[in-house]
Copies of this chain bind each other. A is one copy, B any other.
């Protein structure tokens, strides 16, 4: 089954499960501000996103069960809560006011501020405050997907264990990335370690949570884990490429963001490792400038192209693609055919995607 077909079947069910959790919360509160708060969270969660993580959780469960059962949908959304909660906090940290073409969560409350007459707090602080609490709420609400479903208690406890591990690994990845801004002579191996945590861990755990509910054995878990982490790595490499060389009209993101931020993308690390000393120094100097001009950004892009980084990063992605394929080959004897196709198709989708 193709990824698009799988999405078509399950995304409405995933959205229903998210709605269920928020509507229960909305019913439980009377205060008008709390009602607005949970409505905004709900709306934020339902405003798009590819739902790759819950889809992978569902697919893994289905891959190992004879009779497919929609009871997996509810616990599949926990990982989407971690993902969105992280985005809410990331957008505050990165001062990004928009997400998926709509206002970021904290930014919605910066606007909401106008409804108040607050003399001791400015709008930015108000938005950030509600944003911090909003991310926290979403991290906790994700637990409800494991607390109120139809599976056995020991499976739910194990799922919460994965849920916790996923966040700790994401946080470690994000912290390493922050620290990297200050590090010189980074290798591609440093980069891969960082993105395995920042992006790979949650995709891996989405798969392992699905496998947990299907009671998959240890051997297969290992291969599923390899597949998931590699899928995450590829996803992030392509994300980095699209972040600078994508089509803004297709990605919906400006192509100067990563460069202006000085983000340690695979493009930058690869260029710094490949360029001659004088060009390397020039690149470092440009990237460190607090206010880059349009010409500076273009110069960085030119240096990237000179170092042929797109091709080498695509080669890099391909090496992880091959490793993921091998793990799928090993799983082929135990996995149901429609999901086998889906896993392969998703791998193709992630490496070929333009958005």
- A residues bordering B, Cβ < 8 Å? 25, 29, 31, 33-34, 37, 89, 92-93, 95, 116-121, 125, 128-130, 132-133, 135-137, 139-141, 143-144, 147, 153-154, 156-157, 160-161, 163-164, 167-168, 171-172, 174-176, 178-179, 181-182, 261-262, 288-290
Residue of B nearest to A167 (CB): B140
Q: Which residues of B contact A179 (CB under 8 A)?
A: 31, 33-34
Chain A contact surface mostly: helix
A117 and B171: CB pair below 8 A?
no
B33 and A176: CB pair below 8 A?
yes
Chain B CB within 10 Å — which of A34, A133, A156, A262 has the most?
Answer: A133
B133 and A132: CB pair below 8 A?
no
Known: A33-B175, A172-B34. A164 touches B140 (CB 8 A): yes
Known: A136-B89, A154-B153. A144 touches B171 (CB 8 A): no
Measured in the bound complex, the distance between the Cα atoms of B154 and A168 in whole Å is 24
Known: A118-B181, A153-B157, A181-B118. A136 touches B175 (CB 8 A): no
Q: Which residues of B contact A168 (CB under 8 A)?
A: 25, 137, 140-141
Q: Which residues of B contact A290 (CB under 8 A)?
A: 119-120
Q: Which residues of B contact A164 (CB under 8 A)?
A: 140-141, 143-144, 147
Closest 10 pairs (CB-CB, A-B): A33-B179, A93-B129, A140-B167, A116-B182, A143-B164, A153-B154, A153-B157, A140-B164, A119-B290, A120-B262
B133 and A135: CB pair below 8 A?
no
| Distance between A49 CB and nearest chain B CB, rounded to angstroms | 20
Q: Which residues of B contact A167 (CB under 8 A)?
A: 136-137, 140
Measured in the bound complex, the distance between the Cα atoms of B41 and A175 in whole Å is 14
Measured in the bound complex, the distance between the Cα atoms of B286 and A119 in whole Å is 12
A136 and B139: CB pair below 8 A?
yes
Measured in the bound complex, the distance between the Cα atoms of B92 and A117 in whole Å is 22
Q: List 13 A-B contacts (CB under 8 A).
A: A31-B179, A34-B172, A89-B132, A92-B132, A130-B175, A132-B132, A137-B167, A139-B139, A140-B168, A140-B171, A147-B157, A153-B153, A153-B154
| Distance between A146 CB and nearest chain B CB, rounded to angstroms | 8
| Distance between A283 CB and nearest chain B CB, rounded to angstroms | 15
| Distance between A257 CB and nearest chain B CB, rounded to angstroms | 12
B133 and A89: CB pair below 8 A?
yes
